[in-house]
Amino acid sequence: MKKPLRLVVLLSGDGSIFEAIVEAIEAQRLNAEILMVMSDNPNAYGLTRARLHNLNTHTINVKEYSDTNAFQRALKEALVTLKPDFIVLSGFMRILAADIIQAFPKRILNIHPSLLPQYPGLHTHERVLAAGDKKHGTTVHFVDEGLDSGPIIAQRELTILPEDTAESLQQRVKELEKVLYPEVLQRLADRL
């Protein structure tokens, strides 16, 4: 059997997509190991989820740093020390500094709730509905120095229903994300 993909997960919130990755590993649908789950938010429920799966966690609390640059330096130092194959952003609500991206070229992944290049940034579900789009979805992409502009790895789409709200779309897209992210990671594991 191939060696498992070595991952570090960065999150800021509840970690539901991250948990789908963990469940895929536990079910042996994803040949990976999570070296560390890191957060900028000490109260992120994703850290609790990680501990429930007996995973290592680390908080780099952004509020404990004098400025963004100091926070980014601490984050980079922690990531470089861990030497992951890939860094997985899963609801990490910080833009990474250019030197972090340059230290891990095409090794930082993000999942974004839209069919990029449409609707980068926040409030994608509201923006899709306001535009009257018929399709919506999610994208896994490599992180570059732009906002949600890195090379696209994979996308999944769904049809917007007449009764959809921003909240219902968010839930439906999240279900796609829970399937797509582990699948993309397994494709990357197959290549190593």
User: Which of the residues are catalytic?
Assistant: 112
DSSP class of residue 102 equals: H
Of the candidates 82, 96, 72, 69, the one whose C-alpha atom is nearest the C-alpha of residue 150 is: 96
Give the pair of three-digit tokens for residue 112. Answer: 């974004």
Under 8 Å CB-to-CB from 71, ≥6 apart: which residues?
40, 60, 62, 65, 94
DSSP class of residue 3 equals: P
Beta strands across the sheet bearing 32-39? 57-59, 32-39, 5-11, 86-89, 108-112, 135-142, 152-159
Give the pair of three-digit tokens for residue 65. Answer: 């740093």
d(CA 123, CA 103): 30
Give the pair of three-digit tokens for residue 3. Answer: 């060696």
